[in-house]
Amino acid sequence: MKKVGEPPPKTRLLRAAAALLAESNGEPVSTRQITQAARVTAPTLYHHFGDKEGLFDAVVAEGFSEYLDAERNLPTSGQPVEDLRMHWDNHVQFGLDHPHLYLVMFGNIRPEHRPSMVASAEAFLEEVLVRAAAAARLVVTPREAARSILAANIGVTLMLIAEPAAKRNLELSAMTREAVISAVATDSEADPTTDTEGSPSVVVAAIALNAALQSSHPDQLSSSELKLFLEWLQRISSRSGS
Amino acid sequence: MKKVGEPPPKTRLLRAAAALLAESNGEPVSTRQITQAARVTAPTLYHHFGDKEGLFDAVVAEGFSEYLDAERNLPTSGQPVEDLRMHWDNHVQFGLDHPHLYLVMFGNIRPEHRPSMVASAEAFLEEVLVRAAAAARLVVTPREAARSILAANIGVTLMLIAEPAAKRNLELSAMTREAVISAVATDSEADPTTDTEGSPSVVVAAIALNAALQSSHPDQLSSSELKLFLEWLQRISSRSGS
DNA sequence: TAGCACCTATAGCGGTGTTATATGAACTGA
DNA sequence: TCAGTTCATATAACACCGCTATAGGTGCTA
């Protein structure tokens, strides 16, 4: 007869591994510790996960999806740049809450091995940035912006994890956050290319581009292409309403 | 009789460990491999380094002093902010040259354990920034600036190491570098929205227009025209050409 | 020569990741 | 009902790992 409240060995292994990894301060955790804590013998571990590394990967993947869920469930403020700040802070907080997990997730990324999850974190951030771009707040490609922001976010979080919890200065995070955000997006007001509302002014942006093209001609377009391009730009710019 | 050109066992151990760590792609290296490669038996390792970790720490410390020496020997351009860029690039390059060493040095920093060396890297960067402050280019404390720059620098380098060498996009580095530097220092000549080359705000305007067009499609252009227009816009935005 | 640090080697201990093999449980089809 | 199959777990052992108690050179000083 089996207790009904008892999770199956597979999840018991996962939880035991996660708990032991979180407790033992970065020192290696043996499979024997894990199987003993899960009240299971060695072969069941290898039956379910194939490998010690397989088990650890599963733990990391679980932590990662926890992180992504948390990110996705953050409320949206309606102001894309403000959302960006929130996601940055959430990332840092996650790292400080699960330092060992975070070190494995972002500090140990070996080529060809782990970056698939990092890529999904990048992709999510890119979504947020696409919304910012739609509000004409972006100054570079959303993809480039996402990579840059994520890189800085990881660096800051690693640095904060590295120093003793008592002495942690979160201003490092805020400062770097503003630095990298302001280089990537123009904050709400004082921007000539945006309307008062969220709906950006295509006309203003077109005019700005038109003006910029007068002084420097890009060589990505042939002269004939450029001619037609400018004509269309002119047409867009001459539109009256918003 | 002993060969004279032969280094003593201690340095043989150090070199063998460094070489094996660099070769074997992040997978653990056993003491037996090391001692065999150094043509030495186990106890001499423990006599000289006390511990496997002691040996690895010595390797890391050596790599670290190599890094710091390289940083210190960089020429100074006389322009503090330009020096800052040079040190940033040198940091990234070091990470790409010694990826595994770098991962141990900056990706695995466990509290209470390794940050003494990170602290010295931070201190050196602070020196550079003090010179910038003396030139009245700084906007925040040199210490805060150093921490912020170093954090972003580490994050970018880790991210570049993580992706396959072929696909590495160094623009991520340049972009983040300018972001964090411009938030910390006022630069006389350079502008964060411009490349190292010369392509000015055309790109910015193109990206803004691109973003604006995502939410509202103008009716002055037919759908086929719009398609081509967007394609060109994309080409201009990607600034690869010049 | 004796004595004395220093450095290195022999041989082995306990622990680790892993697996060949076997046992049990649950479900299937006849 | 029961043989057959599949899945899940256990027993016991292997080869390797980090590490060390002990002992043996080696070169120096006296």
| Strongest mean pLDDT among A63-67, A85-89, A192-196 | A85-89
- Closest-CA distance, B228 to chain A, in angstroms, reads 9
CA dist., res. B78 & res. B158, Å (int): 30
pLDDT tens, B54-113? 999 999 999 999 999 999 999 998 888 899 999 999 999 999 999 999 988 888 776 666
Residues 23-52, chain B: which have Cβ under 7 A from strand C? Answer: 40-44, 47-48
Identify whether A197 is part of a domain.
no
Residues A113 and A180 in one domain: yes
Identify whether B131 is part of a domain.
yes
Residues B97 and B152 in one domain: yes
CA angle B97–B99–B101, rounded 5-degree value? 105
Of residues B103, B158, B205, nearest to A205 (C-beta): B205
Residues B109 and B80 in one domain: yes
Query: How many angstroms separate the Cα of B95 from the Cα of each of A159, A161, B26, B105, B167?
Result: 16, 20, 14, 10, 16
Identify whether A196 is part of a domain.
no
Residue B142's CATH number: 1.10.357.10
CA dist., res. A125 & res. A87, Å (int): 8
Q: Distance (Å) from CA B90 to C1' C9?
A: 44
Cβ A185 vs Cβ A125: under 8 Å: no
Q: Is the CB of B215 less than 8 angstroms away from the CB of A201?
A: no
Crossing angle of helices B115-134 and B80-97, rounded to 10°? 160
Instruction: Give A172's contacts in chain B (Cβ within 8 Å).
Output: 144, 147-148, 151
Domain range for A206 is 202-237
Among B172, B186, B174, B197, which residue's Cα sits nearest to residue B81?
A: B186
DSSP three-state, residue B218: coil
Identify whether A184 is part of a domain.
yes
User: How far separated are the first and last CA of chain A, in Å rounded?
Assistant: 72
In this predicted model, which residue has the larger pLDDT, B110 or A189? B110
CA dist., res. A123 & res. A128, Å (int): 9
Residues A22 and A106 in one domain: no
pLDDT tens, B172-214? 999 999 999 988 887 554 343 444 333 445 666 676 677 667 6
pLDDT tens, A127-155? 998 888 777 667 788 888 999 999 999 99
Identify whether A105 is part of a domain.
yes
Residues A144 and A38 in one domain: no
Domains contained in chain A, number: 3
pTM for this entry: 0.78
Identify whether B189 is part of a domain.
no
Residues A178 and A64 in one domain: yes
Of residues B163, B225, B232, nearest to A115 (C-beta): B163
Does pLDDT of B17 surpass 50? yes
Does pLDDT of A203 surpass 70? no
